[in-house]
Structure 1
């Protein structure tokens, strides 16, 4: 089988031939058919990721495919089942703990950028039947984190207001989930073309942050005091404006750190009595709940471009360009 590996952080990916692995007791062999690229993958590949990375790691955390064989004792899966791998294989339910989140795909453990991979029985979830494999591959990171921000932690209710930042996969999922829940969504981008696409996805209002650098104040003015929920993916460069955009008593989910520069006044947290919550993925139980909702609603992830498995370098360059709306994926025949 074909598999990619990263010899060391900052090195070029290497395509190698390996034997197809055999599933041991309690394990499942999956033929991977779809993969999704995340900003985290770029950080790992460029050598900027702050957490441990296994030497020679197989990259990418997000993949989906079909079960081809199971080891002794496996009861939940059978050949032909359509599945996706969980980002944290040991986080099955409940709050995240250091023990549950110690190992992650494409970090301490090999990821999914291979034609076949073996997973523990409990480290897989069934994917919605209406999605193809590339669409299903967008769910483990961006989808699950957005669901946790909007539904599990945010508890967004009909009629509430949500602010999403940018047009990446996590932000487009957050927009879709908020609209599905009956919320009014305000979205930002530096591109008017992207803003038009976000409106087509259901955003009620949009703001170009390049032409409106004080977009936090603009959002507060637009909503008569601020939004109920902000899904922040920018980190240091955006958190200050996000806090300005939130209403008194509002909720800010910090779901990504694309920039470290910038400063935020902690006085705003006190004065506005804000809740700031950092989110890094979620449990298998949460993943399953999200998939049930996606299956029931028929929601489809936003796919910007599709590449072949061997075109991973081009896919990474496309993500790095920042021109995408939604997810960039790989797929095999």
Structure 2
């Protein structure tokens, strides 16, 4: 394949909505000595992509406080959106030894986060915000930011791995004790169904490790999928809003070993109430609306019940490599669920469908 001189890419003419995405053709520089040129085959959408678009519905939905306003302002002008991709290497710089044309790869969410150390510098390397993202036909990446795709996955399936899957893997395997058979792990959607895609991966990884999983969602359809994926118990928090009490009932009053909380403000209190003494809560999302939570209601039980709280912001290149090895050795249990695939020309329609919350699984754009 000859090296292209231009690439078609989407960028924002102005912030405010994904309707402001503009498709244009721009010049494409050849890869530098330590860079790799990749042809994008698939891009998957994340909740963050809606936030960074400045979509009024989404920003109003989470009730942005000052820290969020600051985070959303740290975005490159006219940036190319999206962080998650899968593609094919078509050219490498003269000093690159680990990649060759034809290799199938994903780029890590943070291009410069090689290990589990978060710094201001790694934050600045997040795709689709501080720097241009991956909703483009071709893009160069630092060679060290790329990871090989599990061989059994399609490009569409592999595009879902760098953010959603890695966040779940990081929460389950890279912090406190990994899930093991015989324990209870509540990890499938303590927030609104919009963000159930991240806990689906957590559910799959936990089941692969032999954990007992209690899955929660407001969607009966998604709970049926959770049961098919191996959840031992499911709770519809729309019909059972006090789901923490139901978790205690299921676990004989003890509580679960771990909670993966995707809603943040909206569910943290119930997450604390549902976890056992000495248990852990991994905070992996903020899809729930703001509500008033007393610091006393949080700090006192965390301290006196010896609970562990851990914030998760995606993961590192090394963790993505390890996760892909786990996926390759557990192909049936960990296969990504793709709800719908849109062509590149219909990227705005993909964003609209994703924002509608009608999806069950990942929304992908195919190039």
TM over 0.5: yes
Partner of 1:191: 219
Partner of 1:244: 273
How far residue 260 of structure 1 moved from its aligned partner, in angstroms, is 4.2
- Deviating beyond 3 angstroms after TM superposition, the runs of 4 or more aligned structure 1 residues are 47-50
Counterparts in 2 of 1:114 and 1:85: CA distance versus 1, 3 Å:
same
CA distance in 2: counterparts of 1:197 and 1:53, whole angstroms = 36
Partner of 1:42: 50
| 2:365 aligned to which of 320, 330, 333 | 330
Q: Indicate if the aligned counterparts of 1:156 and 1:178 stay in contact, CA closer than 8 A.
A: yes
Instruction: Classify the secondary structure of the residue corresponding to 1:84.
Output: strand
Q: Indicate if the aligned counterparts of 2:124 and 2:131 stay in contact, CA closer than 8 A.
A: no
| 1:297 aligned to which of 314, 317, 330 | 330
Gaps of 5+ in 2: 1-6, 60-67
Alpha-carbon deviations, 1:225-280, whole Å to 9, x = none?
A: 21111111111111111111111111100001112412442122123221110000
Partner of 2:184: 161
How far residue 326 of structure 1 moved from its aligned partner, in angstroms, is 2.2
| Number of residue pairs the alignment of both structures matches | 332
Partner of 1:8: 14
Alpha-carbon deviations, 1:86-128, whole Å to 9, x = none?
A: 1111110133233333321011110000000010111111110
Instruction: Classify the secondary structure of the residue corresponding to 1:79.
Output: coil
Instruction: Classify the secondary structure of the residue corresponding to 2:43.
Output: strand
CA distance in 2: counterparts of 1:323 and 1:244, whole angstroms = 30
2:327 counterpart of 1:321 = no
How far residue 14 of structure 1 moved from its aligned partner, in angstroms, is 0.5
Partner of 1:311: 346
| TM norm structure 2 | 0.87
Q: Which moved further from structure 2: 284-293 or 257-266? A: 257-266
Q: Which moved further from structure 2: 190-199 or 60-69? A: 190-199
2:206 counterpart of 1:178 = yes
Instruction: Classify the secondary structure of the residue corresponding to 1:218.
Output: helix
| 2:102 aligned to which of 62, 80, 83 | 80
Gaps of 5+ in 1: none
Partner of 1:275: 308
Cα-Cα RMSD? 1.4
Instruction: Classify the secondary structure of the residue corresponding to 1:43.
Output: helix
Within-5 A mapping of 1:100-115: 100-115=122-137
Instruction: Classify the secondary structure of the residue corresponding to 1:24.
Output: coil
Instruction: Classify the secondary structure of the residue corresponding to 2:119.
Output: coil
